[in-house]
């Protein structure tokens, strides 16, 4: 079976600036990139992804719309409803990855989840969302929210609306196997990603599940110019790998790393430029030449 290699682009701390965001959205659609990917970073000025993707949905016909959503702190009902409606408004183009957040004490406190088992909260939210998206009336208690025969409508266009998970730790990998439809890694070398992929597959098989072979991907920060040591250290935080395995420099390193990840069994790539010195059009031309050609 030919695995589907797809190339997405993530905004670099994308601000809530309409003109710059429109340049990115229109450029991705015009060049044929698979997905625009935005991350939910509640304590930064980066644009709120669901609002931004609704704007992107109205400007595009083909581009898929991906978001990392920090689950702890959300009312699961409102989250399920917002995601279902965004999938409908985009004509079934939503891609979704759920994340536990960065885990800092400041963020946990701000989201009201200090002391909470964030992975357990994600597991519960996944189960609730899937029940609502399948049309079930849900009766449940979670995090102070009480649902008594509650439904969500209308349902997403996609059936099922897939839920991908991230994280490289043992608990996160196990949760991906038991509850996820796919895995979107970060800060992992090709060798580490391949090992983690096998760990996920074993965890899935243990509960009678399988994850499609082409449902393994990774977010890759890259740079076209030398970065200072402090910036590299911040990006590499927690990564046990060489710099070039995590943050490729220039076209040759980027393409070589993508090919190594493909050999390791990954097929979905979210490319994240670490700077935009010349604007999105120049950056997207670079990626179209050196990465988009891998898309099949």
pTM reported for the whole predicted model: 0.95
188 closest CA partner among 210, 171, 206, 166: 166
Contact 35, 66 (CB under 8 A): yes
| Residue 182 located in a structural domain | yes
Helical ranges in 134-181 per DSSP H: 170-179
Confidence of residue 13 (pLDDT cuts 50, 70, 90): confident
* Pairwise CA distance, residues 107 & 114, whole Å: 9
Measured between alpha carbons, how far apart are the two ends of the chain, in Å?
Answer: 13
CATH at 242: 3.20.20.30
14 — pLDDT class (breaks 50, 70, 90): confident
Domain that holds residue 24: 6-294
Asked whether residue 1 is domain-assigned, the answer is no
Q: For 185-194, how does the pLDDT look when each residue is reduced to its tens digit (9 = 90+)? A: 999 999 999 9
Do the domain assignments include residue 214? yes
Burial 178-194 (b: 16+ CB within 10 A, else e): bbbbbbbbbbbbbebbb
Residue 230 lies in a domain: yes
Asked if residue 224 is part of any domain, the answer here is yes
pLDDT classification of 234: cutoffs 50, 70, 90: confident
Average of per-residue pLDDT across 65-77: 94
Q: Is residue 268 part of a domain?
A: yes
Phi, psi dihedrals of residue 145, rounded to the nearest 5°: -95, 135
Helices (H) and strands (E) in the chain, counts: 11, 10
* 215 falls within a domain: yes
Number of domains in the chain: 1
Nearest 5 degrees, angle CA 21-CA 234-CA 259?
70
The mean of the pLDDT values for the chain is 94
């Amino acid at each position: 079976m030919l695995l589907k290699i797809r190339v997405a682009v993530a905004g670099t701390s994308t601000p809530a600036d309409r003109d710059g965001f429109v340049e990115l959205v229109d450029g991705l659609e015009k060049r044929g990139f698979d997905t625009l990917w935005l991350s939910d970073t509640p304590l930064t000025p980066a644009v709120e992804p669901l609002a931004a993707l609704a704007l992107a949905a109205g400007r595009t016909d083909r581009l898929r719309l991906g978001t990392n959503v920090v689950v702890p702190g959300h009312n699961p009902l409102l989250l399920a409803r917002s995601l279902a409606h965004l999938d409908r408004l985009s004509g079934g183009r939503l891609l979704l990855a759920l994340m536990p957040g960065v885990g800092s004490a400041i963020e946990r406190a701000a989201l009201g989840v200090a002391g909470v088992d964030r992975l357990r909260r994600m597991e519960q939210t996944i189960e609730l969302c899937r029940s609502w998206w399948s049309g079930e009336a849900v009766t449940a208690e979670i995090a102070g929210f009480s649902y008594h025969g509650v439904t969500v409508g209308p349902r997403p266009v996609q059936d099922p609306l897939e839920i991908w998970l991230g994280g490289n730790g043992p608990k996160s990998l196990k949760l991906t196997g038991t509850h996820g439809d796919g895995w979107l890694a970060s800060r992992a070398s090709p060798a580490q990603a391949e090992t983690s992929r096998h760990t996920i597959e074993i965890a899935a098989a243990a509960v009678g599940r399988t994850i499609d072979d082409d449902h393994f991907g990774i977010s890759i920060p890259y740079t076209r110019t030398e970065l200072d040591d402090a910036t590299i250290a911040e990006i590499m935080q927690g990564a046990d790998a060489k710099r070039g395995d995590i943050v490729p420099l220039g076209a040759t390193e980027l393409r070589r790393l993508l090919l190594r990840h493909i050999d390791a069994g990954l097929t979905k790539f979210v490319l994240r430029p670490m700077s935009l010195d010349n604007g999105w059009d120049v950056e997207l031309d670079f990626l179209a030449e050196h990465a988009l050609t891998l898309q099949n």
